[in-house]
Amino acid sequence: MLTALPTGTRGIVAGLDVGFDKKARGLLTAVGAAVAPAIESLADGDVESVATAIIRDAERDIVAKVRVRWRIGIASD
């Protein structure tokens, strides 16, 4: 999320949820997704944005799901 934010903004993790679906063994692969809010949406204050990740084992079975809540706002000097 932080690398997607425009200059002059900041992000703070407000929550983290992890669900474990299966015992993890061997090589794991994680794929994540996040969409940073448009800078215009920050004019009225902080906004919340969510990033997610799915972790799979070598058989491509889901072993865990991660959800991160971010509070995004304008950085203060």
What is the distance of C-alpha 29 from the center of its chain?
16
pLDDT value of residue 77 = 67
pLDDT in tens, 21-49: 999 999 999 999 998 887 777 877 888 99
**DSSP, res 38:** P
Q: What is the pTM of this model?
A: 0.81
pLDDT value of residue 71 = 92
pLDDT in tens, 61-71: 999 999 999 99
User: In this structure, which topology does domain 2-74 adopt according to CATH?
Assistant: Thiol Ester Dehydrase; Chain A (3.10.129)
pLDDT value of residue 19 = 97
